[in-house]
Amino acid sequence: MPRSPRPHLPLRPLWLCRSCGTPWPCPDARLTLVGEYAADPVGLSVYLCGVLYEATADLHRLHPDQRPDPAGLFDRFLGWARRRTTP
């Protein structure tokens, strides 16, 4: 029996994908989220706002001397969804 693929979920507090090791949300995670929230793009934005809040706190705590760029964090965790759902 083949093993089921590992879900592309975040490894906290690093915020790397547990499956592919890239910064989360990785492309596969983004596809999954868009599918899960296909009928509720506002809900996806609300969810991602919460993720952005938690990730910002974790990443600032992990890297107090090299704090992540706020605009970069916004694009990584939330901006991509706005671009995907805007016609």
Closer to Zn ion by CB, 21 or 70: give it. Answer: 21
45 residue type, one letter: S
Q: Which of 20, 52, 59, 78 binds Zn ion (CB under 5 A)?
A: 20
Q: Which of 15, 26, 44, 73 binds Zn ion (CB under 5 A)?
A: 26
Closest CA to 29 of 46, 10, 5: 10
**Could you say whether residue 81 binds Zn ion (CB under 5 A)?**
no
**Could you say whether residue 76 binds Zn ion (CB under 5 A)?**
no
Phi, psi of 73 (to 5 degrees): -65, -40
**Could you say whether residue 48 binds Zn ion (CB under 5 A)?**
no
Phi, psi of 74 (to 5 degrees): -60, -45
- CB of residue 19 vs Zn ion: minimum separation in angstroms? 4
The alpha carbon dihedral of 80, 78, 33, 57 has a sign of positive
Q: Which residues of the shown chain bind Zn ion in the complex (CB under 5 A)?
A: 8, 17, 19-20, 26, 28
